[in-house]
Structure formats: structure tokens, C-alpha cells
Copies of this chain bind each other. A is one copy, B any other.
């Protein structure tokens, strides 16, 4: 096992879960918290998981990055809608060769981070994780936990797997989290969008859980058609995803326990939705390559309407 120290920026359903797993495996982990800070400082973190429940009674909890030690690996697990905070949050945590592991959905965040710390040390990860925060410091891990990581390079050119990536993968594997390393981060991002675009969007628009969307023949077909459009979007970036991957995603979702997507949860909490990273940016990239994605375009318009109205009433 490495001696890497980890900082978790955004210790919610995703960052809190992975951070807790890493700490449980014996690594030093430092958690930046916001609303949960007081609670977690006193009570630690509770992980309720199909892989085994556990309680970390004591964690390194912070509400200010300036009080945190510099770390080897910084996991950015904020909502993409808070990435504007990163120019303030990251610098105090950096030492030479600190690696940022960006565990977020959608496209477009890596270049922003590279502009803060340089592109050399940015690794992106696409997580297949069904997990919800059920109360302060209490995370319910429902299903899956796998991460696919790839190194960021300018314009997302494919690139060789580095020792550091293998080290990070080793740390997660030790903690019971399967990690695949990839030479092509952009391909991984588009593959993740095949799930995220239909399910996140439709769960909000139709006020539905994944199992309801799958049980109805009309929305099941719609999901498939939207996935087809995501494959077209990937092609517009010269990334080939086989059509058979659609069936893999449908099967995986069929097996998933009834689940509210992260976007649906954000919607219910009247938070700004991750529309731009998950839907807007892929649309924009495809459109710049002259590729039209009409159904995804319509999801975008519907989501923007719902999001604006949802937060207007706050």
C-alpha cells in the first residue's frame, strides 16, 4: 500500500463514501466539509453499504482548506456547479506533484483545473456509483462503486498510463473499490454520459426513479434512443462506443435498486442542477463538430426551464 495522503474536497455521497473507504483501508484522509462539518467533527462518518456497513468514529474534518495539510492526492468531488470555488480551494493543498483526481460527471471541468495547477497532474475519473447522503455524515451506498480513471492532456489526446495512476488505482483497490485505468479519459467521460444524460435528465423531467423509467416501454425506448445520440456525440469527438454498450447500461440499470439520480436529488433540494456539464457541454461539443443531437437538445431545454423555475421559488 502507498503512503499517499488524500484530501477530499466535497465530502458528500460520492467524496464522503470514497474518502471513508480509503481511510478505513489505513490511509490518511482529510475531509473538507460544508454543511456536515460540525456533525462529522463530533460523530464521524457512517457508511451504510451493500459491501458492509461501517462507522468511522473519528475523521479529519475541516471547514476551511487553510487548516488542512498539503496532500499527495486531492479528490475533487464537489458538484460541478461549484467548480468556480476551485481556484480558492486547491492552492493551499498543493505540494510539488500533488495530483488532482476529479471525480465528477459531465464534460469540461478538467481544463478548468489544469488552468489552476497545470495539466501535468490532472487525472479524471468516471464513477459508476449509486450512493445518496441520507443525513449529516450518513451515506447510503446503494450499488456499484467502480471508477475508471484517465490522465488529462491538452485536448484530451489519449496518453500512456502513469505510475501515479496505478498507485491511485492500487489505493482504491486496497480499499475495496475497483478501478480501471484508461489511456483515454475523454472516451471514459462519454461512456459515463451514456448513463448520465438519459437517467439524470428524465428523472427530473418525469419526476421518476430509474426503475419506473425502465418499467415503461415508452421511456425505456426513449432512454435507448438518447443513448444512441450520446454515441453520436462521442463519434463527433472521434470516440467510438460500440452499440452493445447501450445494452450493458440497460442491464446494469435494470439490476440497480430503485434509485433517485443525483440530479433528481439536487432538484428536490432546489439546488442548481449540473445541466451544463452533463448535457450542455456535450451538446455544444457535438454541435461544434456539426453533429445534431435533437433529443438531448430537448432534454437540455426542458431541464433549463425546470431548473430556473425550481430555484425561483426559493
Contact = CB atoms under 8 A, between A and B. Distances in A.
Of A202, A298, A300, A309, most buried by chain B (CB within 10 Å of CB) is A298
A306 interface: yes
A302 B206 contact: yes
Contacts of A300: 218
User: What range describes how many residues of A lie at the interface?
Assistant: 20 to 34
B301 A298 contact: no
Given A294-B295, A295-B295, A208 B305 contact: yes
Copies of this chain in its oligomeric complex: 2
A130 interface: no
A104 to B, nearest CB: 23
Interface string A276-314: 000000000000000000110110111011101100000
Contact of A306 (B206, B297, B304): B206
A204 to B, nearest CB: 11
A212 B301 contact: no
B295 A219 contact: no
A66 interface: no
Contacts of A294: 225, 294-295
